[in-house]
Amino acid sequence: MSVDHPHALESRLVSTGVERLALLGKHAEALMAGYARDEVPLEGLSTTALNRLLAARILWRPDEQGGVKLAPKVRELIAEMLADESRRHVNADVAETLELLRSLVQSYREARDGGEYWRQEQQLLRLRQEVDDLNGRFADAIDSLWRRLNGDFGFVSRLGDKIRENQRAQKQIVRLLDGLALIDFDELIELVGSDGALRKLLVSGLQQQLTQHYTSLREVQRRLVELMARFRQQQSRSRLVAGMAGFLREHPGFVPGNYARRGEVPALVNRAAPLVAAGAAALDHHPDSRVLGELLHRLPRPAPRPQPVTAAGAAAPQEDTLVAARQQALKEDVERFYLAVVDGGEGLSALEFLQQGEYEWSEEIWLFQVIAEFQGLPRSEQRAFRLSQQESQASRYNHVRLIHDVTLQLA
């Protein structure tokens, strides 16, 4: 039993391919005539040439009584080269390609572990070709969508045809997105392992290509929605003009009235909803800030809630209640400090306010609560105040900053 050398097999494959491509070029006129018609004309083909084209699977005969036709793959090849969207069939079969990639990776690993370097290079070459074919099919499908949008979709005059073209394009987009979703990079990362060449091909390179495909599909969808909206706008205008022209033909003496000077506007015309003006207080306007301060002073103070009577055994809940009440009292005193800054309109020191009000809070807790209250405000309200800190460095060997006082003023 003789085994062909790999180089001899490759040489025989190349020679056979050159012969088949030469047949395509030699009989190009007859093949294009068959593409344009239903059958291939046999007048310009000899019996030997016809048998060679049939043997090369360029032509085929569906039945004995019928004529000779182009093979489906050859017809698809010509439609692809001519970008003939009416006969072009784009099929990105991702599941089958992924299964083939898994098989090729296993063969690549077996060749690498067995030291068969030539077979390893061949498997890597086939992997590159399959990945390129997969990316090419997606790119061709997206290109076909672009051509359909700029061709069939853009020049359809009837709304029904436009809607059908829209649905057809949307279904193809969904199929492409489903095909892209089948590519699981977690599985590919686990499949290729630590091999650098496989990771570059099946992970980083493929992920970069898929990102471009997703971006192109988003652009296609945006263009599709834009064209559909533009078509509906144009059709509504054309319907309005056509309806007005029909009305004028039926009523040649019609003169439009001046609806602006009429006391009673028809209900069909008077469809505008009333506008509700939105209002907001401007804190940077001095009269508004003064009015807001007066309104805040008129707000009733919350009445203190009576402390519930608890049993002697409930000391821990009573202690939690006292801590919460003390925290609420500290928060209310800090709010009074902020209201005093709003009323005065000038900068005010937090420690001076603490000493003048004779509050029973330590300076550290008071400053911490003032800063925390400022940081808890929304961004829009923080911009209404300006908080400056009087601080110093702890020591020349330590970059810790010590805050001695805080001044708050309106921005």
Looking at the fold, whether 323 and 210 belong to one and the same domain comes out as no
Residues 237 and 97 grouped into a single domain: yes
Of 83, 116, 132, the one marking the end of a domain is 83
For the chain, the domain total comes to: 3
Show the domain range for 349. 286-296+315-410
What pLDDT score does 1 carry?
41
Q: What is the pLDDT of residue 3?
A: 43
What pLDDT is stored for residue 303 in this prediction? 66
pLDDT in the model for residue 313: 47
**pLDDT of 362:** 84
Q: If 0-12 CB within 10 Å is exposed, 13-18 middle and 19+ buried, where does residue 61 land? A: middle
Cα angle vertex 149, ends 148, 152, to 5°?
55
Cα–Cα distance between 70 and 53 in angstroms, integer? 10
Whole-structure pTM value: 0.45
Task: Report if residue 303 sits inside a domain.
Answer: no
- Residue 381 in domain: yes
Give which of 128, 126, 96 is closest to 202, Cα–Cα: 128
Q: Are residues 97 and 56 in the same domain?
A: no
**Would you call 60 helix, strand, or coil by DSSP?**
strand
Residue 366 tokens read as 């008071």
| Residues 141, 216 within the same domain | yes
Q: What are phi and psi of 259, to 5 degrees?
A: -70, -20
Q: Residue 77 has what pLDDT? A: 75
Is residue 260 assigned to a domain?
no
Task: Return per-residue pLDDT of the chain as tens, 411 residues.
Answer: 444 555 666 777 788 878 878 877 888 888 888 777 767 878 878 888 888 888 887 887 766 666 787 777 777 777 767 766 555 555 556 888 888 888 888 888 888 888 888 888 888 888 888 888 888 888 878 887 887 777 666 566 676 777 777 778 888 888 888 888 888 888 888 888 888 888 888 888 888 888 988 888 888 888 888 877 877 787 788 888 888 899 989 988 888 777 677 777 777 766 777 777 777 777 677 777 778 778 878 888 776 665 555 554 455 567 778 878 888 888 888 888 888 888 777 788 888 888 887 788 888 888 888 888 888 888 878 888 888 888 887 777 777 778 888 888 887
Name which of 330, 332, 343 is nearest 409 in CA terms.
343
Residue 213 lies in a domain: yes
Instruction: Please indicate, yes or no, whether residues 128 and 239 belong to a single structural domain of this protein.
Output: yes
Task: Tell me if 271 is assigned to some domain.
Answer: no
Q: Within a domain: residue 325?
A: yes
Same domain for 237 and 103?
A: yes
Residue 278 lies inside a defined structural domain of this protein: no
Q: Are residues 1 and 30 in the same domain?
A: yes
Phi/psi of residue 388, each to 5°?
-120, 140
Give domain status of residue 281, yes or no.
no
